[in-house]
Amino acid sequence: MALVALAVAGCARGVTSTPGDAPNLENWVAEVRAKPAPPLDPLPVMQQFETFEYAAQDLRDPFSNAFTDRDDSNGPRPDSDRRKQTLEQFPLDSLDMVGTLGTGGSLAALVLAPDKVTYRVRPGDYMGQSDGRVTGVFEDRVELVELVPDGAGGWLERPASIALEDN
């Protein structure tokens, strides 16, 4: 029991402070308060901006379609009301001419599509994904005219052909 009482007394003695410590603490706080505060950093200088007056109200709006004023009504354009034909779902470079049927003016080309079906093509038919209209069928080739956008809101006609494959 004496040992426990001695241990408790030792712990209590380390926690309590002596009455002589309070004046030292009060003196230290007084010294810190008596020192002058460090100077503050100066405020940053505000940068002066040059004013700009927008004076382009009369110019064309850069975000408007510049080509809406063009009259392309008499130029070539795809027929949106025309029903698409089967060969128009395939790119032109994926179609192969494999032969012809008929003679003279009633010549028809045989064209093999990627779906492994052979189609009969005559002048006036359409093929390829660029509104390609067949203009002529010959023994060794099919000639057509495609409509491609010109980048300015109009359309250009571009000649194309599919040659007979040599197997």
Kindly state whether residue 25 falls inside one of the protein's structural domains.
Answer: no
Q: Is residue 123 part of a domain?
A: yes
Helix (H, G, I), strand (E, B) or coil at 164: strand
Residue 32 within any structural domain of the chain: no
- Helix and strand numbers, DSSP H then E, in the chain: 2, 7
Alpha helices in 19-158 (DSSP H): 21-34
Q: Which of 81, 165, 93 is CA-nearest to residue 129?
A: 93
> What radius of gyration, in Å, describes the C-alpha atoms of the chain?
46
Can you give the pLDDT at residue 19? 59
pLDDT at res. 16? 47
H/E element, 156: strand 155-163
SS3 of residue 78 by DSSP: coil
Largest CA distance in the chain: 132
Q: What is the pTM of this model?
A: 0.55
Domain count, the chain: 1
In a domain, 52, yes or no: no
Beta strands per DSSP E along 48-149? 96-101, 108-112, 118-121, 126-127, 132-137, 141-149
Query: Residue 104 sits in a domain of what CATH number?
Result: 2.30.30.830
Domain membership flag for residue 142: yes
Residues in contact with 119: Cβ distance below 8 Å, sequence separation at least 6, in sequence order: 86, 87, 110, 111, 112, 113
Task: Read off the pLDDT of residues 68-116 as tens digits, 9 standing for 90 and up.
Answer: 555 556 778 888 888 999 999 999 999 999 999 987 778 999 999 999 9
Q: Which domain holds residue 134?
A: 86-163
For the stretch 8-61, pLDDT in tens is: 666 555 444 555 677 889 999 999 999 998 888 998 998 888 888 888 888 887
Q: Residue 127: beta bridge partners?
A: 132
Residue 159 lies in a domain: yes
Kindly state whether residue 90 falls inside one of the protein's structural domains: yes
